[in-house]
Every structure is written in C-alpha cells, then in structure tokens.
C-alpha cells in the first residue's frame, strides 16, 4: 500500500486547468467541457479568479425558460464563491471539506494565481494509489 498521509493537494491536482472567461457564452463552456472531458472550469476575468462553473450549473441555468446558451454569459451561471485552497494544503483537509460541503472541486492557487484544480476524480486517483 502506498501512503498518502501527509500529502498535499498539489500532489494530486490537475495542473494548469482549462479556464473560461466570465463574459463568454454558456455554449463556450459546454464546448470546452465536451472537448476536454471535464466537469468544472475556473472562471476568470482579467486573469483573476471570479468563480467556477460546473456542468451542473450549466444544466440548471439552461433549463430556465427563455435561456439561450449562445447569449447567456458564464458569469450568470457560475458559482461566485468557489472553494479555494493553496497548493500546500493537506490533501486530507481538502478531501474532508469537499465531502462535508458536497462540492465537486477545489480551485488551487499560489500567490492568487490559479495553478490547478482538484476534483473528485483526482481524489479517487489518490485513493486508488493508496490502495495499491
């Protein structure tokens, strides 16, 4: 068995994640998620993190009456207060917080710059490694 005790989120995060601009249409987020087979996109404006948009967020907004994915912006669908952690945060702490809050990702930063994303898929990869 491989130990993950003491590991930081940086060890398992997806580095340099795909991001999307807040002013882009929902259709752009759909396109990126399908192309890269991902479910979460950090949302930036001028290089600064504003939020995160998930495939669930897109679905929720698009089921509302008269919503056109080519016209509605990502900013209107995103989560404004994503779970943000520093790259040196303990993996156990991040996983516990995500489980407690029922959230699918943590945005990983260094000096206020997005350097990664840690998702439930990354958590499962860590568990799989530990079980070997």
pLDDT given at position 132 = 79
CA-based end-to-end distance of the chain = 5
Give pLDDT < 50 ranges for the chain. none
* Residue 1, pLDDT score: 64
Place of tokens 């994303």: 117
pLDDT at 67: 87
Range of the domain at 70: 9-131
In a domain, residue 124? The reply is yes
Kindly state whether residue 3 falls inside one of the protein's structural domains.
no
pLDDT of residue 66: 87
Domain count within the chain: 1
Whether 58 is covered by a domain: the verdict is: yes
Is residue 64 one of the residues assigned to a domain? yes
Answer whether residue 112 is part of any domain: yes
Q: What is the pLDDT of residue 3?
A: 75
What's residue 123's pLDDT? 95
How many Cβ atoms sit within 10 Å of the Cβ of residue 126? 20
Q: Is residue 2 part of a domain?
A: no
CATH number, position 52: 3.10.580.10
What is the reported pLDDT for 36?
A: 97
Is residue 4 situated within a structural domain?
no
C-alpha span between 67 and 71 (Å, rounded): 8
Does residue 1 belong to any structural domain of this protein? no
The secondary structure of 68-117, three-state, reads CCCCCEHHHCCECCCCEEECCCEHHHHHHHHHHHCCCEEEEEECCEEEEE
């Amino acid at each position: 068995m491989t130990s993950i005790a003491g590991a930081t989120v940086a060890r398992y995060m997806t580095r340099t994640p795909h991001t999307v601009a807040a002013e882009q249409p929902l259709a752009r987020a759909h396109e990126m998620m399908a192309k890269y087979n991902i479910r979460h996109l950090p949302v930036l404006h001028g290089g600064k993190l504003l939020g995160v948009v998930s495939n669930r967020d897109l679905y929720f907004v698009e089921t509302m009456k008269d919503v056109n994915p080519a016209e509605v912006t990502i900013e209107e669908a995103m989560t404004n207060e994503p779970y943000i952690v520093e790259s040196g945060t303990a993996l156990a702490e991040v996983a516990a917080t995500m489980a407690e809050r029922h959230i699918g990702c943590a945005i990983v930063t260094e000096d206020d710059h997005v350097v990664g994303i840690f998702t439930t898929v990354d958590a499962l990869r860590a568990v799989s490694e530990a079980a070997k």
